[in-house]
Amino acid sequence: MVVILNTGARTDTVQYFTPWLLKRFEEGYVLSRNPLFPNKVTRYELTPDKVDVVVFCSKNYRPILPYLHKITSRFRTYFHYTITAYGKNIEPGVPSIDESIETLYELERIVGKERICWRYDPVLLTPNYTVETHRKTFEYMAGKVSGHVDRCTFSFVEIYNKLRYNMPELIPFTQDEMHEIAEFIGSISQRHGLWVQTCGTREDYSRFGIHKSGCMTLKILGDANGVEFRDLKHRGIRNGCGCMEARSIGDYDTCINGCKYCYANKNPQKARENFKLHDPDSPLLLGDLKEGDEVVAGNQESYLKRQVQDVALDLFAP
């Protein structure tokens, strides 16, 4: 099923591939290559009767703002906006905190705060980014974004092998440090009237006023868009994840933000090499169809309650 279309799980599609993304919606379909079986390609129809919600995730919405109405006028949407504490030494291609917040305000004016989630994610420690740095930065940012977003989501970085290699300065958390950070994130959020929750985190921090939830649940997406979904199981995408299953477009190893903690790139050089293969006119984000590729149609049965689906089809009819 591809009733929830995730445009930013594999790369920052909005920041670097906006012309391609707009053309895909204009032409009404997209092709997505299976990252595990590269000769398997899925075709998804990008029409309101086939996609319940389009979910975005980006660190810079500036490139798409002038054109976003072309999508929001036709589809239900939800926007994850990642704004962290880190500077160019960790996120070379990402705008500054204040620039990002100004862009968030502009995004809010277009889509409304109920469709925006601020992601303070991932939380990590280095000699330059200490527990106290996170305390001061989160306090500053919470004061700026409160009243302009639906909620805040955070998680602690997972130190996997690729990250150990790409970011040797990373300092593993102690349990006490994680509890201290969770406590002040909960306290600061409550003080600013900001709903805060974890994402992909197994530990329960509800004692600090932090909610445990997936960041992409049918309730969140439904409430943001004024619709009701069927009561379906949220399988998640990894251990501790409470999100609803979605379908992603785009490719790994294509984002040139250069974030040192990135899970979607093997290394920045590989992403830069792949970026050169991008063709804005191709239905695939990277390259084009090759001999031996097998294209299949994605299952696009709606998650909406039946009566809601009937009304929705009338609402978005041309």
pLDDT, tens digit, 9 for 90 and up, residues 13-35 = 999 999 999 999 999 999 999 99
What b-and-e string marks burial along 95-130, b requiring 16 or more CB atoms within 10 Å of the CB? bebeebbebbeebbebbebebbbbbbbbbbbbeebe
Q: How confident is the model at residue 242 (pLDDT cuts 50, 70, 90)?
A: low
Q: What is the pLDDT of residue 260?
A: 93
Please give the share of the chain, as a percent, with pLDDT higher than 70: 93
Q: What is the pLDDT of residue 311?
A: 47
**Strand, helix or coil at 243?**
coil
Q: What is the pLDDT of residue 65?
A: 98
Q: How far apart are CA 270 and CA 289, in angstroms?
A: 20
Mean pLDDT for 1-7 is: 80
Describe the chain by its helix, strand, coil percentages, rounded to 5: 35, 15, 50
pLDDT, tens digit, 9 for 90 and up, residues 40-71 = 999 999 999 999 999 999 999 999 999 999 99
Peptide bond into 122 cis (omega under 30): yes
pLDDT, tens digit, 9 for 90 and up, residues 103-122 = 999 999 999 999 999 999 99
Q: Which of 55, 73, 76, 48 lies closest to 13, judged by CA?
A: 55
pLDDT, tens digit, 9 for 90 and up, residues 134-168 = 999 999 999 999 999 999 999 999 888 888 888 99
Mean pLDDT for 88-116 is: 97
**Residue 216 backbone phi and psi in degrees, to 5:** -135, 70
pTM: 0.93
**DSSP letters of 130-147?**
-HHHHHHHHHHHHHHHTT
Q: How far apart are CA 184 and CA 208, in angstroms?
A: 8
Q: What is the pLDDT of residue 215?
A: 83
Average pLDDT value for the chain:
91
Q: Is it the case that residue 84 has pLDDT exceeding 60?
A: yes
Q: Is it the case that residue 240 has pLDDT exceeding 70?
A: no
Q: How far apart are CA 222 and CA 229, in angstroms?
A: 7
pLDDT, tens digit, 9 for 90 and up, residues 252-310 = 999 999 999 998 998 888 999 999 999 999 999 999 999 999 999 998 888 898 645 54
Q: What is the pLDDT of residue 148?
A: 98
End-to-end CA distance of the chain: 24
Q: How confident is the model at residue 318 (pLDDT cuts 50, 70, 90)?
A: very low
Higher pLDDT, 106 or 248: 106
Q: Which residues pair with 58 in a beta bridge?
A: 81
